[in-house]
A and B are shown apart, each in its own frame.
Chain A
Amino acid sequence: MSRTHVTDVLVLGAGLAGERTAIEAAARGLEVVILSLVPPRRSHSTAAQGGLQAALGNSVMSRGDSPDLHFTDTVIGADWGADQHVVRLFVNTAPAAVRQTARWGVPWSRITAGERRLPDLAVIEEPEAATGLIDAKKFGGATKWRTCYAADGTGHALQYALDGMVLSLGITVHDRTEAIALIHDGEKCLGTVARCLRTGEVRAYLAKAVVIATGGCGRLYGLSTNSVINEGAGLSLALNTGLARLGNMEAVQFHPQTLPPAWIPVSEGGGGYLLDRNLDYFMPYYQPQNNKQPYRDVTARRMEERIRAGLGVEGPHGPHLWLDVRHLGTDHIERHLKSLAAFCRDFAGIDPARELIPVRPVQHYVMGGVRTNIDGAAYGLKGLFAVGEAACWDLHGFNRLGGNSLAETIVAGMVVGKKVAEFALGEALHYTSTLVAQHLAAQEDRLRRLVAGQNGSENVYALQKQMGQILTEHAGIFRTGSGLETAVAALAELHRRAQKVGLASGGRGAVPELGAALRLPGMVRLALCIACSALARTESRGGHFREDHPNRDDVHWLCRTLAYWPPGAEVPVLKYEPVQITELPPGKRAAPA
């Protein structure tokens, strides 16, 4: 394979956001190349089982739903941290985006007329007129049933359908290829340097427009629900230019109910109870109207409080609480909680119809990412775009609603893909071979020094583990000024050590240790962005909770954090910009029933 590839549009990432963007650009006649660490169908998106929010309003339980309600739910859920222009565009586009995927083959679950029994044993009746339309289910934070689903495999079904379109459009995909640096001239992004994960070979990819669609960075944390490849590569690539900005890196979501030791989210649709070591049902102490499903950040805090109060259960993988679904009965569990039952059985050897399920909150989603405008264009570098979890388009503010992330991938892919295409169509490919050679040489030099063992003898995995522990402990569900100061100091030290990694494997070919060593310094910089942004934000909003500043402070903090990393800096520089409030002014945050 030749060392330099030239195309119109280069998409980094083949998850839902990347493939949806690529389809839009290719459908407009552009040549598109997608790079991915793994085959597209193995991307993290396939692991999202739950569903996707779009106000179709088909079910009897969705009656009266509208993009307006979806807007309100999203903004309140975000604790007013979201960009309301973007939310409006998103909620208005989501229904069409979902219907389009039905045309591409997604087997969306459909409504069947007649009576149906719900988890709380209430009975509803779907009318004849709704038969065959796309169904929806209940998700926390939504006033109406709005979460469309494809049985228990929404992400899988979407990914396979989109990848089918990618195949049919003849879009080039280079899988097992890792982007390791962006090529730019200080103003415009021109492409990327990438490493082949089969052979270790280094290549350059040049394009008129480059799209970061590399997903989230949950694996910065020691404990996370994310796929093991979600290490925030795209965020590092952008940050390392010194020009692009990362938005709201302190805004991290923790999933309340994950099953140790693999930390798999297990959702029971709101019908279960959370118990502590005394088998005390503690949620009503905090949420009096117990038929409400509180926001994820609220539930996670209530759980962590119990654990900190010594009321957790000591398990082989650390303290946890119990999720109890036994009262729902074998029949209900086998029929409606199939994937929960399968996870319990296959990954913990538990029968949820008869036994309690150990659960604990761990990192789940990052609301922050490469800051873009409403068109998906990154700040600071022309020709660079970002979509999906890697982006801070700012749909989610400080707390993402369940189901809004899959929806974001296809909506943003549609909207941003069009803008990417328009940009690329009006742009000539301009680069100089010296510039490309310089970028290639810089990366090859990094590789050579690592392989030659010239940097030092630090162990990459040990450092990575320490980073994960620091974040989990100090930048987790509860945060304090002093804890975050400790974290920043410790991470700054780790950042220095991360430059001194020595390889135990020798680093030949595509050995995984070399890849890890290349990624680590960028990952520690992202961890520093999280810790520094969280330290600076002296208020609590959504998933960012400061014990020493427990209230939301709209006077000082109704703003978005922008972090960037000037060349040679030890810590990121933080700037702020206002949050766009166009329709719904800040008010009291209470989860809908």
Chain B
Amino acid sequence: MDRRLTFDIFRYHPFTAGTEPRMQAFHLRETPGMNIYAALTRIREEQDPSLMFDFVCRMALCGSCGMLINGRPRLACKTFTRRLPDRITLYPLPVFRLVGDLSVDTGEWFRHVALKTGAWLHTSRAFEPVAPEERMDNETVLKVYEAERCIECGCCLAACAKVHIQPGFIGAAGVNRLARFMLDPRDERSAAQYFEVLGSQDGIFGCMGLMGCEDNCPKDLPLQLQLAYVRRTMAAAGLGPRGN
């Protein structure tokens, strides 16, 4: 303890005319239990109130605070300084549109992909307010939940070499979100319908299987498993007859 930490932070406000990208160093004395959230908040409040970054839940649940911490995509609220060297470099996540400094538009990216892939439950059945709920096997529910858990932080996308060279690729998070609906018996889409949105280079066939995604997921999602499941299902759907 009692270290003097140096934070090298990427600075740039693209929406403000006349500013240029640069790095800026800030110094802080380390305090007990300090994480990047506490450090950045102190820097903003005590040293530079123009510093932009995003935190909401500060407990690794909302997915707002992904950034490159010493080169690795991490949730800043879940990253503690005691595990880091005295010099800490912070960059915004690549892939996403920069809002300012460390703040990027992950929300816009995920919304776009969700619309493009129809990432919601598709059912034709009307809701009957007085009827009891349809039964569902809890094992199935847990499988759905395992994919549902993704908080859309974007760390896996920042770590994926393919996303960098092919901006249309929906990445592990995009595929995982669709897997969540494929696993859900309440969703009425056929394999062929899923193939429409997943059976391409921008979908599952864009993945090169290098697993940068899973290694960097702060929520430990089994992305390899989900990618394999979707690849299998889509390969079968691609070979089989079109339609239902």
A residues contacting B by CB (< 8 A) are: 38-44, 46-47, 49, 56, 96, 98-100, 102-105, 107-112, 131-135, 150-151, 153, 156-157, 160-161, 164-165, 167-168, 173, 175-176, 197-200, 227-229, 260-262, 264, 316-317, 343, 346-349, 460-461, 503-506, 508-513, 516
Contact = CB atoms under 8 A, between A and B. Distances in A.
Contacts of A516: 49
A513 B33 contact: no
A103 B184 CA distance: 11
B149 interface: yes
B51 A512 contact: yes
Max chain A C-beta neighbours (<10 A), residue from B32, B62, B136: B62
26 contacts: A38-B62, A39-B110, A41-B110, A46-B57, A99-B129, A102-B186, A103-B121, A103-B186, A112-B138, A150-B145, A161-B121, A164-B121, A175-B108, A176-B105, A176-B107, A200-B15, A228-B56, A262-B59, A505-B48, A505-B50, A509-B13, A512-B44, A512-B49, A512-B50, A512-B51, A513-B44
B32 A513 contact: no
Please list the 3 inter-chain residue pairs (A to B) with the smallest Cβ-Cβ separation, ordered nearest first: A39-B107, A164-B120, A132-B135
Given A156-B151, A198-B15, A504-B48, 13 more contacts: A42-B64, A102-B136, A105-B120, A109-B138, A132-B136, A133-B132, A156-B149, A157-B145, A168-B120, A198-B99, A228-B55, A228-B58, A461-B46
Nearest to A150: B145
Contact of A153 (B63, B107, B148): B148
Nearest to B120: A164
Nearest to B220: A342
B152 A41 contact: yes
B107 A38 contact: yes
Contacts of B208: none
Given A105-B120, A134-B133, A227-B58, A509 B100 contact: yes
B148 A262 contact: no
Interface stretch (B2-10, B111-119, B232-240): B111-119
B194 to A, nearest CB: 16
B59 A347 contact: yes
A131 B140 CA distance: 13
A41 B63 contact: yes
Main secondary structure on chain A at its contact with chain B?
loop
A513 B63 CA distance: 23
Contacts of B165: none
Contacts of B46: 461
B120 A165 contact: yes
Interface of B: 13, 15-16, 31-33, 35, 37-38, 44-46, 48-52, 54-64, 77-78, 80, 99-100, 105-108, 110-111, 114-115, 118-121, 123, 125, 127, 129-138, 141-142, 144-145, 148-149, 151-152, 181, 184, 186-187
Given A42-B107, A109-B141, A134-B133, A509 B62 contact: no
B144 A107 contact: yes
Interface centre among A43, A111, A167, A506 (most CB of B within 10 A): A167
Contact of B59 (A40, A47, A96, A197): A47
Contacts of B61: 46-47, 49, 153, 156
B82 to A, nearest CB: 8
Most buried by A among B106, B110, B138: B138
Contacts of A43: 56, 62
A331 B181 CA distance: 31
Nearest to A462: B45
B32 A164 contact: no
Nearest to A506: B50
A418 B31 CA distance: 51
Given A44-B57, A132-B136, A199-B15, A175 B107 contact: yes
Given A227-B58, A512-B51, A102 B134 contact: yes
A38 B56 contact: yes
B99 A96 contact: no
Nearest to B114: A167
A349 B79 CA distance: 12
Nearest to B152: A41
A569 B6 CA distance: 46
B133 A133 contact: yes
B15 A164 contact: no
B56 A176 contact: no
A133 to B, nearest CB: 6
Contacts of B149: 153, 156
B58 A107 contact: no
B127 to A, nearest CB: 5
B200 to A, nearest CB: 21
Contacts of A229: 56
